[in-house]
Structure 1
């Protein structure tokens, strides 16, 4: 049984993630961590969630704190803490402001929970994953980010709708940046085990329109309702379930790569990875030439931003 800690639990994503994670049978205790001064809100969240647990017959020890040290003994620590993206704001605009928060938080986690797996949700998630990896002092397998997992699920849904099949029949991935330079892997997309390009109706697939929809989905939701909540919350729970269940599923998350994909690496970015109780392990893959070009460009973009943020962090600390 496992202890799960959610940092930034007073935010919309953190609160909903607590609800979805409570359905995972491997979770025995959950800690909600928020900023000092938010004790009343955290207390209210715990009471509300406890009522939900009672209604669903769930037996999880639930507590809250404003002290990071109380995360000691956690199996997974989910970091949603940071400044949320505002309507019209690019994820990269958030980078340095959130990096300062993540660096301090990661250092604290490294001290109090050296054996935990650190799961980054804070945006821009690829850069924040790199910051968390550096300042926590953890091994690369212990730190990962939500990355392009939700983007891949969004594309999966669009493809299923187009071909009028159940979403479980579609297998697809988006790799690279969780942002503008994301790269869809059409070469490895299948429907019912059939390569998508072998289906006669593939010629009419509005592929670029679909990718544009995925790229702008987060901003569109933020514009219309203020924040993304349900999609990220469910995606977080899926990844937590995969790790705590020791499932060894291959999902697309932000992870540190060295040379797994065409000798490209030295950065945290969205790639297929095997997830289990020991952490996250990128899977070596081969891509088509145009996909390699796109992935290389995405890596170069994220590496530059990451380097710039790291340099500014060093100067500020």
Structure 2
């Protein structure tokens, strides 16, 4: 008989966090979900509201408003707290504000005796994931950022729409910073095993110009959504649930997460979005794709942009 249950702690119940909690309940991913937020009344209301939907859920989930002491027996802490991206503001503009917020949060989590996995969603996610790793002292494999998981999903959706195929049968990655310097890995993008680069050469209705526009729409999607509704939250919430399932169910899934590089792709000492195998122990292995010369150059530029921001914050020497 199972002696313990999967407990997930959600810190930050704003638009992203509450959307994540709703998706978690609808998919029946964890047995326990604890909500933590400075706005106690809002989080208590969320817990009540979610519990009232329990009769319609696929499986029971115990949900409550808690505190940092609940982290001691948690398997996963999901960080959605922090300042939001405002219209006209880039994700990197948020770094100073959110690094300070995260230092206090991570110290409180670790003081509980937490020994699980951190999943970071707050922007700028690559830099804040590095911060969580530094502040927590946990092994790098057990600190994961949402990285380019949403960008990759957007990419696959738009490619599926363009080629009129199920988006789940599109295999293509966005890697690099979750932000303006991210890049598409066209050299490995395929549908049903057939390279997209070959598909556009075989049929006149397809073109590289269209593909370039698809990538631009992926890269700038957050800005377009923020202009229209103030924030993005449904897509990333579902991406976080996908990552949660990969971890709690030991799926060994390949997802484009923000993870620590130790020489892969020619770089080290930063967290950045690359394909990696995710399971119950965190990051099992990084998938090192053979990039084209242009892709490698663009990836290196993405690394440089992140390091330029990180250096004064973390006093990096490399």
- Is the TM-score greater than 0.5? yes
Q: Which residue of 2 aligns with 1:315?
A: none
Q: What CA distance in whole angstroms lies between the structure 2 residues aligned with 1:14 and 1:68?
A: 16
Shift of 1:113: 4.2
Q: Note if 1:13 corresponds to 2:1.
A: no
Give the TM-score, by structure 2 length: 0.93
Q: Which residue of 1 aligns with 2:119?
A: 119
Unaligned runs of 5+ in 2: none
Displacement over 4 Å in runs of 4+: none
- Cα-to-partner distance string for 1:211-253 (whole Å, 9 max, x where unaligned): 2111111111111011112111111111111111111011101
Q: Which residue of 2 aligns with 1:139?
A: 139
Shift of 1:69: 2.5
Q: Which residue of 1 aligns with 2:251?
A: 247
RMSD over aligned Cα atoms: 1.6
Aligned residue pairs, count: 307
Write the mapping of 1:77-92 to structure 2, written as runs, cut at 5 A: 77-92=77-92
Q: What CA distance in whole angstroms lies between the structure 2 residues aligned with 1:135 and 1:276?
A: 23
Q: Note if 1:46 corresponds to 2:47.
A: yes
Write the mapping of 1:143-182 to structure 2, written as runs, cut at 5 A: 143-182=143-182
Q: What CA distance in whole angstroms lies between the structure 2 residues aligned with 1:308 and 1:163?
A: 44
Q: Note if 1:228 corresponds to 2:239.
A: no
- Cα-to-partner distance string for 1:142-188 (whole Å, 9 max, x where unaligned): 10111101001101111111111111220000110001100110011
- Cα-to-partner distance string for 1:267-317 (whole Å, 9 max, x where unaligned): 1100111000000132233211111101011011111211222249xxxxx
- Cα-to-partner distance string for 1:111-162 (whole Å, 9 max, x where unaligned): 3244210000110000000101000101000101111010011011111111
Q: Give 3-state SS (helix, strand or coil) of 1:48's partner.
A: helix
Q: Give 3-state SS (helix, strand or coil) of 2:232's partner.
A: coil
Question: In 2, are the aligned partners of 1:260 and 1:285 still within 8 Å (CA)?
Answer: no
Unaligned runs of 5+ in 1: 313-317
Q: What CA distance in whole angstroms lies between the structure 2 residues aligned with 1:173 and 1:219?
A: 20
Q: Give the direction of change, closer, same or farther, for the CA distance of 1:296–1:303 in structure 2 (3 Å limit).
A: same
Q: Which residue of 2 aligns with 1:272?
A: 275
Give the TM-score, by structure 1 length: 0.93
Q: What CA distance in whole angstroms lies between the structure 1 residues aligned with 2:222 and 2:51?
A: 30
Q: What CA distance in whole angstroms lies between the structure 2 residues aligned with 1:114 and 1:283?
A: 28
Q: Note if 1:103 corresponds to 2:103.
A: yes
Q: What CA distance in whole angstroms lies between the structure 1 residues aligned with 2:85 and 2:74?
A: 28
Q: Note if 1:206 corresponds to 2:207.
A: no
Deviates more, 1:199-208 or 1:238-247: 199-208
